[in-house]
Structure 1
Amino acid sequence: MAMDTPFDEFLKEWSDNIDKVRTGAGLLSKIRDADVDVGTTPKTLIERRDKVELFRYDPIAERSVDTPVLIVYGLIGRYTMADLQPDRSLVRSLLAKGIDLWLIDWGQPGRGERWLTIDDYVDDYIDEAVERICAETGHEKITLLGICEGGVFTTCYAALHPRRVKNLVLTITPIDFHADVDDPALHRGFLNVWIRSLEASDIDLMVDALGVIPGEFMSSVFSLMTPMRSIAKYNVDLIDTVDDRDKLMNFLRMEKWLADRPDHPGSAGRQWLHDLYQENKLIKGEFALSGRKVDLGAVKMPILNVFALDDHIVPPNCSKALGQKAGSKDYTEIPLPGGHVGLFVSSRSQGGLTKNIADWLTARDG
């Protein structure tokens, strides 16, 4: 029937949405938490120390890159963002390219880990994992693939332990935590601005009282950075997907990852906020771990630096700053479309991310 007035069109759309919600309610009633599976790519546990686990992913293609690659995610979130679902998984895509892939899983830190520092994560846990990978594979050096905060950890490790690092791959990694100040895009750098505005004593008070930076607290901060988007996804976006099981599962997997944000160990969090976000010590050459200053000029191995053009959490300028400080003569930057999370889960950018990393590694293998 032809719609004669805007009101008729409104009624038709309203009726269609009601039908969608009814269909979606039926789908949701049959979905259980176990059905919303993330991080399912098969892997083998190689080593466990405290709550930290080292895994090796099971191969799914003939090996094309000989050098092992260790994925290091940050403490702010869970590594499952890089393995959200089979068709949107950086992990599966790299395995399909024939890469020997390893993973550090930090687990779920709590008050018992309140005294762990970034020194411990870089000079102990990552160092032990690298040594174990070298022992298992017979290689003297490996490739580190750092994501966000994990990219800062791997950069520090590469500067302090260059004998074990053949290549350094960074994705959405902040290096200059104040580079957003000169960024003309107003929607970027809200997190940087907010953290810089905090009183150092308030950060200390939270860490001293709780022992951690609560995951729920950080989740609320990220939501407040894009308030309208955070609200709209539960009505407008959900209505568009609720009657399609595949799209609904995509939505639920992302929500599960967002809800699985771990607590950040207190002492490491204090360094992360004080020394890096507020005082910007890494780019200044003043950031010290285990009594040694992290000199970015000592990072002389080949570097691939991938960042997202629409990243509002780690603005591109914060990542690109490494190019002026690193000592490598083989430095490559690759800007890709998408946001901080979209770089890994968006169908638009994921193929480009995998291809660029795999091609870059292949060219430097041997």
Structure 2
Amino acid sequence: MTAKYQVSDWDLTQKLGRGMEILNRLREEDIQVGLTPKEEVYREDKVVLYRFMPKVESSLNIPILISYALLNRPSIVDLQEGRSLVANLLNLGLDIYLIDWGYPSRADRWLTLDDYINGYINNCVDVVRARHQLEAINLLGICQGGTFSLCYSSLYPDKVKNLIVMVTPVDFHINEGLLNVWGGCSLGSQALDVDLMVDTLGNIPGDFLNLEFILLKPFQLGIQKYIDLLETIDSEDKLLNFLRMEKWIFDSPDQAGEAYRQFMKDFYQQNKLIKGQVEIGKKRVDLGNIRIPILNIYAEQDHLVPSASSLALEKYIGSEDYTVRSFPVGHIGMYVSSKVQRDLPPTIADWLKVRT
């Protein structure tokens, strides 16, 4: 055991005993995530559009629609009290909607990126536009949802007033980060036989994808965090924080097979987004079509989406109003760091307020 954990056997036994007492009295409802009140305003297939209930009088007359990644649940943006991007934005007077992609079943294996972008996202945007009687709304895309938002803004530039992308991959052939290498940027199409996976499995199991991300940092994500838990296991608040994070990490929906096939081949393996070669349905995505204001937020220590991948966006868009902000955290730290949640929501709100 390292020096960090050099405590007496008696002290360790006492900590573990108190930790077990806490665990024994915790209930499932104590570990819930996504607690900010919200209402369902639209449903299509497995997809649900939510509007979070306003907390204060709105300071902006243009709502924000959040598009998260297909992997994992969007509840990470509303993980817990005090560390909720959604709640903090609501406190600043913003009107927030969120797309919940749901859990694809075997019946959804044929869903494509056309279905997700020209279908679900476009329909959700139209619902919000109609509810507020607006021609265009604000869009906040996170991780893969940011890549989707870039595609959408290129295809429907008149429907997006301002675009915010956060920890969003753009150039998928940045030779940094194991996910890029494993996905195919350095090793070519032989790195991952996507066709074989989809043709064999249909939908890609969420547990497989979750394991893939853990293996990017196997010791830190698979062992170290449980060792570190020994330090805080006798603190109910800290233990609950840990359990909420674990709940979110291992709540991984399966991925619709055809959408996964196109995303991995067109984006990761062939890097078509920056080449202007991605086709969604019958429409070609050209990042140069995006001329609206853009706020690009990235994590400086991101091991999933290298900063260079996100920063490449400036070279390909047509926007003259382009702003970059960064935070000294990793990919998940953007949501759970108390310091980030102190500074990130005002950054978004202040940027939007001068662009209404």
Q: TM-score, normalised by structure 2?
A: 0.95
CA offsets 1:69-97 (integer angstroms, 9 cap, x no match): 00000101110111100111000000001
Match of 2:288 in 1: 297
Deviation of the 1:101 alpha carbon: 0.4
Q: CA RMSD in A?
A: 1.5
Is 1:232 the counterpart of 2:223? The answer is yes
Deviations for 1:211-246, whole angstroms, at most 9, x for unmatched residues?
Answer: 111110011111111111123345321111110000
2:94 equivalent in structure 1: 99
Q: What residue number does 2:150 align with?
A: 155
Q: Do 1:200 and 1:274's aligned partners in 2 also have CA atoms closer than 8 Å?
A: no
SS at match of 1:270: helix
Distance 2:319 2:29 in 1: 45
Does residue 115 (structure 1) correspond to residue 110 (structure 2)? The answer is yes
Instruction: Work out the CA distance in 2 between the residues paired with 1:353 and 1:316.
Output: 17
Counterpart of 1:204, as a letter, is D
Residue 139 in 1 paired to residue 126 in 2?
Answer: no
Specify which of 219, 232, 241 is matched with residue 210 of structure 2: 219
In structure 2, the gaps of 5 or more residues are none
Q: Where in structure 2 are the equivalents of 1:208-287 lying within 5 Å?
A: 208-287=199-278
**Aligned residue identity for 2:80:** Q
Matches within 5 A, 1:38-117: 38-117=33-112
- In structure 1, C-alpha distance between the alignment counterparts of 2:224 and 2:20, rounded to whole Å: 17
**Displacement of 1:127:** 0.6
Displacement after TM superposition at 1:124 (Å): 0.8
- Give the conservation status (yes or no) of the 8 Å contact 1:308–1:343: yes
Distance in 2, matches of 1:252 and 1:129, equals: 32
State the one-letter code of the partner of 2:233. Answer: V
Instruction: Give 2:337's aligned amino acid.
Output: S
Which of 293, 299, 306 aligns to 1:308? It is 299
> Given the superposition, is the C-alpha separation of residues 268 and 94 from structure 1 closer, same or farther in structure 2, using an over 3 Å criterion?
same
* Aligned mates of 2:125, 2:151 — CA distance in 1: 14
Alignment-mate amino acid for residue 347 of structure 1: S
Matched, 1:194 2:182: yes
Contact 1:123–1:290 under 8 Å retained in 2: yes
SS in 2 for 1:166: strand
Aligned residues between the structures: 350
> Shift of residue 201 of structure 1?
7.4
CA distance in 1, matches of 2:9, 2:162: 55
1:164 and 2:164 equivalent? no
Unaligned runs of 5+ in 1: 1-6, 182-187
Query: Is the CA contact 2:182–2:192 (under 8 Å) kept in the aligned structure 1?
Result: no
Larger radius of gyration: 1
The answer to whether the aligner puts 1:344 opposite 2:308 as a matched pair is no
In percent, how many aligned pairs have the same letter?
47
Q: CA deviation at 1:61?
A: 1.0
CA distance in 2, matches of 1:226, 1:280: 24
